[in-house]
Amino acid sequence: GESVGLHLPTLSVQEGDNSIINCAYSNSASDYFIWYKQESGKGPQFIIDIRSNMDKRQGQRVTVLLNKTVKHLSLQIAATQPGDSAVYFCAEISMNYGGSQGNLIFGKGTKLSVKP
C-alpha cells in the first residue's frame, strides 16, 4: 500500500553545519510532495513543496531534492541554526479520496536537534 516514511527518526547536527533529512515514498504516481516543520507545542508549518516534474527546488536556506527513480525525497537545510530544531515531516498528495481533491499522507517525522 501507499506509505511515506523517513529513514532516520532523529538527527543531531552542529550549529552552522548543513542538515539533510530523508524521506522514502512508495506511490510512484504521487504528484506533489511537501515538507513541514513542527516545533514543540505547535502545529506543522509548511516549508517547501516540489512537483513530480521537478528534481530540485530551492527556498530560503532550504532545498528539496526529488529522485523519482528510487522514490526518495530529501530536505537540505544550509547553515543549520538552533531555531531549526524541530520535527520535520514529508508528505505526499494522494488522490485516494476521489474527484479532483487529494489528501496528504504524512511520514512519521524526523527530529532535528541542533547543537550549539
Residue 51 touching other proteins (CB under 8 A):
yes
Residue 93 touching other proteins (CB under 8 A):
yes
Residue 44 touching other proteins (CB under 8 A):
yes
* Cell numbers linked to 22: 530523508
How far apart are the C-alpha atoms of 7 and 43, rounded to whole Å? Answer: 22
Return the CA Rg of the chain: 14
Q: How far is the CB of 78 from other proteins (least distance, A)?
A: 23
Residue 28 touching other proteins (CB under 8 A):
no
3-class DSSP string for 66-82: EECCCCEEEEEECCCCH
Residues in contact with other proteins by the rule CB under 8 A:
32, 34, 36, 41-46, 49, 51, 89, 93, 97, 100-104, 106-109
